[in-house]
Amino acid sequence: MIALVLFGSPGSGKGTLSQYLTEWMGVPQISTGDMLRQHIKAGTAIGSSVSGRMRAGTLVSDEVVNRLVEERISEPDANKGFILDGYPRTVDQAEEMMRLAAGRKAEVVVIHLVVDYNVIISRLTGRRVCPVCGTLYNAVSRPPKTPGKCDLDGAALEVREDDREDVVRARLEEYERRTMPLIEFFRSRETRLFAVEAGNESPEQVFRSVQADLKNVFEMAGR
């Protein structure tokens, strides 16, 4: 059983990579960002409490995020493993994640997607999302067939609040300050950690690199 952590700055490609990995591994992707946005859209108490922080590009409290993750990985589809996208983001969250994984006898494997911050800013500020189906586009790397319209349902594309340039820069500063120490945390725990260049490579190339690393892990585990 693998608890796969996709680790990287906002816009590093974690969401796209997790879609490839979910299909290949047959385990669910768990995105804390998606879960929080769903709460905001539904107007829940959690959504109301975190919406301001997400608009400002700052992190949601460890207590809230840890609870969401614990509930999600307890669902039946995560019994054979899971992919964590956007979690953990702090050392305290990492401590809790290691505890949750150990309780499920899951081996933690970390994939660190390395991307230059200038590339990140270009990616995120050019990103657009369909409010109906959630499909992501990018004005440069993945434009829709009709400018401003979703290919699937024709809905007008939107800029997410957390993809505005001022928010992106705030998110990157927060990431650098609070999340980068996780690399040293994982190394100190002797966790399997693979660094993968993900700046100029296509999503397919990044997936193939990660797939090769994971195949080695599975072979060493006798899978």
**Catalytic positions, written as ranges:** 14, 89, 127, 160, 171
Q: Are 97 and 5 in contact (CB under 8 A)?
A: yes
Strands of 27-131, DSSP E: 29-31, 81-85, 107-114, 127-129
**Phi, psi (5° rounding) for residue 65?**
-65, -40
Q: What are phi and psi of 171, to 5 degrees?
A: -65, -40
Distances (CA, A) of 56 to 13, 34, 39, 51, 59: 21, 17, 17, 9, 9
